[in-house]
Amino acid sequence: HKNLSLLSPDQIELAKMLVAMEQSHLFTNWPEPGVDDGEKKAFFDQVTRLNSSYPGGLASYIKTARGLLSDSKTGKNPFDGFTPSVPTGENLSYGDETFMKFEEAGVKEAQNAAFVLVAGGLGERLGYNGIKVNTLCFQTTTGACFLQHYIENVLALQEASCKVTGGQSERDIPFAIMTSDDTHARTMQLLESNKYFGMKPAQIKLLKQEKVACLEDNDARLALDPQNKFRIQTKPHGHGDVHALLYSSGVLEEWQRGGVRWVLFFQDTNGLLFKAIPASLGVSATKGYHVNSLAVPRKAKEAIGGITKLTHTDGRSMVINVEYNQLDPLLRATGNPDGDVNCETGYSPFPGNINQLIMELGPYFEELKKTGGAIKEFVNPKYKDASKTAFKSSTRLECMMQDYPKTLPPSARVGFTVMDAWVAYAPVKNNPEDAAKVPKGNPYHSATSGEMAVYRANSLILRNAGVQVEDPVQQEFNGQEVEVWPRVVWKPKWGLTFADVKKKVAGSSSISQKSTLALKGRNIFIENLSLDGALVVESGDGAEVKVGGSVKNKGWAIEKVDYKDTSVPEEIRIRGFRFQKTEQLEKQYTEPGKFELKA
């Protein structure tokens, strides 16, 4: 009471709310007015932020936390009454007729799309010092960072969509990035210092998620920061925040006014994803899905959620992600004593959620008007002992973006699309040590496997398009055995879709396993090329280059690097290899015109 004079009327209301919610421990030991007044004001500034950034405010947060903590203590099963079964979705096979049809439909639809990258996570499992969309390149042959790769793909899609629909002027595809205090400044700086990788600055919106208050006990008493008794301790709330942020920032409304029809969500480190995006958008548009999740075949126990049909005893049913740590116990509790195991296909029968979600904006916006973007939360306290009366450390509520459909009515059109993993999913999440411990046959999800997957996918796509690509060799890096294919990379504007790639290769070409091929331009045509070494071709947009003949040189050999060798930069040692660029044929065509490179 003595300190009330320091506060604004709104803050006094907040203080009353905290007292009413039994949170007076937060300020009972405060000193007399005149001592630490600045800190006291800062405390209430923080409370104001925590209150305004949570749908329903702090009181609602505390109330929800009490309910969830009580359920957790009594061991209430969140799936009570539900039986899981394998749902049916659209299965696509890269490059076949159906795939090509959906890809074409998706490119047409892309001019009505907006993209949302969730990049607020620090990636604790990866243990990497930078932000993941930056220095952790998606491949080190040409060294593009994830963010550059994503932006160039969106721009290529924008241009392709305009071309096929005969548009007079290109519609800028909006691109939002959710950041957090951990990633915001570095993401902004990355964009600014690289001229937004070619995108118009106005096309990009950064939305920063706030952390949420930590809880110290089962009564949901808010935890004070151990370093500062005038601050509430906070932790990340999860990627589910993206919905509330898109709504509360007015971005969704702006997009709707601008004619956006599809909102595509994706995550921070998947170098393959955009190969699957046009076709999955085509599925959404053709099938009229309000929500479409992209999935890949999943190995049992792989750390990706399973898309599951849940049917309740009262008749309700929904198709939803069941997170990887919950799928096994849910199956065991519902008559499947072996839990999460592979079936005769060698994969789990439940498709793996890669968290690439496509929402139809109209119904999505309508739903958010009702919910404010609040997503069903969960709590995961680590208890001191079996009595579950005290926590080892403070906890907080969390939410996941893929739980959005949980509040939808049964009439909502929720579907999913399963795509080959080699072309859709290769995230970088695990540090080398943990990756090496992944059960044999399951994907590593490491910087090593993420990069090798890019070469594998590009090699296989070229094979599909008629190029003779030599088989890979098996090699071990950082304790992980991977297939090493020729290092083939290209700019998104060279081969955005399979149809584009097919148009750019002709005749009879071959690439040996030790080769590197980097195509850094739009109109580079491969015709009767025999490559055994390294070839780098760069061209300006106005140049048309035909590349053929026989290229043979010492090339770029792969040299092993140990992840513990701190004399090597972190982004290199984390993948366990680097290139010895001994010899290459490198050509640049910056002027407009027709050229021929006949080696």
How many chain residues touch ligand UPG (CB under 6 A)?
A: 24
Long-range contacts of 103-106 (CB under 8 A, 24+ apart): 103/278, 103/279, 103/282, 103/497, 103/498, 103/499, 104/164, 104/282, 104/497, 104/499, 105/281, 105/282, 105/285, 105/286, 106/277, 106/278, 106/279, 106/280, 106/281, 106/282, 106/283, 106/285
- For residue 237, the minimal CB distance to ligand UPG (Å) is 6
Interface region with ligand UPG, contact rule CB under 6 A, candidates 116-124, 278-286, 307-315, 504-512: 116-124
Pick the binder of ligand UPG from 14, 105, 118, 597 (CB under 6 A): 118
- For residue 370, the minimal CB distance to ligand UPG (Å) is 24
- C-alpha separations of 219 from 222, 291, 391, 392 in Å: 9, 36, 12, 15
Nearer to ligand UPG by Cβ, of 448 and 539: the residue is 448
Pick the binder of ligand UPG from 173, 176, 222, 354 (CB under 6 A): 354
Token pair for residue 496?
């955005």
Nearer to ligand UPG by Cβ, of 117 and 252: the residue is 117
Nearer to ligand UPG by Cβ, of 304 and 460: the residue is 304
Residue 267 binds ligand UPG (CB under 6 A): yes
Distance CA 154, CA 493 (A): 10
- For residue 429, the minimal CB distance to ligand UPG (Å) is 5
Three-class SS of residue 426? coil
Long-range contacts of 387-394 (CB under 8 A, 24+ apart): 388/72, 388/73, 388/218, 389/218, 390/217, 391/216, 391/217, 394/214, 394/215, 394/216, 394/223, 394/233, 394/235
- For residue 524, the minimal CB distance to ligand UPG (Å) is 32
Token pair for residue 390?
């005290």
Q: Which of residues 123-182 bind ligand UPG (CB under 6 A)?
A: 178, 180
Q: Residue 40, CB half-sphere, CA atoms under 13 Å: how many?
A: 22
Pick the binder of ligand UPG from 51, 284, 353, 478 (CB under 6 A): 353
Q: φ and ψ at 44, to 5 degrees? A: -75, -25
Pick the binder of ligand UPG from 84, 87, 95, 120 (CB under 6 A): 120
H or E element that contains 532 = strand 523-532
Nearer to ligand UPG by Cβ, of 303 and 519: the residue is 303
Residue 268 binds ligand UPG (CB under 6 A): yes
Long-range contacts of 331-340 (CB under 8 A, 24+ apart): 331/84, 333/77, 333/79, 334/79, 334/82, 334/83, 334/84, 335/83, 340/300, 340/301, 340/306
Binding mask 291-310 for ligand UPG (x = CB under 6 A): -------------xx-----
Nearer to ligand UPG by Cβ, of 155 and 354: the residue is 354
- For residue 411, the minimal CB distance to ligand UPG (Å) is 25
Q: What are 481's strand-pairing partners? A: 476
- For residue 518, the minimal CB distance to ligand UPG (Å) is 27
Nearer to ligand UPG by Cβ, of 43 and 128: the residue is 128
Interface region with ligand UPG, contact rule CB under 6 A, candidates 103-111, 149-157, 162-170, 232-240: 232-240
Q: Which of residues 208-227 bind ligand UPG (CB under 6 A)?
A: 209
- For residue 295, the minimal CB distance to ligand UPG (Å) is 9
H or E element that contains 469 = strand 468-469
Q: Which of residues 489-518 bind ligand UPG (CB under 6 A)?
A: none
- For residue 457, the minimal CB distance to ligand UPG (Å) is 17
- For residue 462, the minimal CB distance to ligand UPG (Å) is 26
Nearer to ligand UPG by Cβ, of 239 and 504: the residue is 239
Burial of residue 92 (CB within 10 Å: 0-12, 13-18, 19+) is buried
Interface region with ligand UPG, contact rule CB under 6 A, candidates 49-57, 165-173, 350-358, 458-466: 350-358
Residue 373 binds ligand UPG (CB under 6 A): no
Nearer to ligand UPG by Cβ, of 262 and 265: the residue is 265
Amino acid at 582: T
- For residue 587, the minimal CB distance to ligand UPG (Å) is 37
Interface region with ligand UPG, contact rule CB under 6 A, candidates 235-243, 275-283, 491-499, 504-512: 235-243
Beta strands in 234-385 (DSSP E): 234-235, 262-267, 291-298, 306-312, 317-322, 348-360, 377-379
Three-class SS of residue 208? strand
Distance CA 219, CA 185 (A): 35
- For residue 131, the minimal CB distance to ligand UPG (Å) is 9
Nearer to ligand UPG by Cβ, of 325 and 389: the residue is 325
* 202: DSSP letter: G
- Residue 315 near residue 453 (C-beta atoms within 8 A): no
Nearer to ligand UPG by Cβ, of 426 and 462: the residue is 426
Distance CA 567, CA 572 (A): 10
- For residue 97, the minimal CB distance to ligand UPG (Å) is 29
Burial of residue 166 (CB within 10 Å: 0-12, 13-18, 19+) is exposed
Burial of residue 472 (CB within 10 Å: 0-12, 13-18, 19+) is middle
Helix ranges (DSSP H) in 136-202? 146-164, 184-193
Distance CA 197, CA 201 (A): 10
Q: φ and ψ at 398, to 5 degrees? A: -135, 160
Interface region with ligand UPG, contact rule CB under 6 A, candidates 163-171, 348-356, 357-365, 586-594: 348-356
Pick the binder of ligand UPG from 355, 395, 431, 509 (CB under 6 A): 355
Binding mask 308-347 for ligand UPG (x = CB under 6 A): -------------x-x------------------------
Binding mask 396-435 for ligand UPG (x = CB under 6 A): ----x-x------------------------x-x------
Nearer to ligand UPG by Cβ, of 209 and 218: the residue is 209
Nearer to ligand UPG by Cβ, of 205 and 429: the residue is 429
Distance CA 256, CA 424 (A): 28
Binding positions for ligand UPG, rule: CB under 6 A: 118-121, 178, 180, 209, 236-239, 267-268, 304-305, 321, 323, 353-355, 400, 402, 427, 429
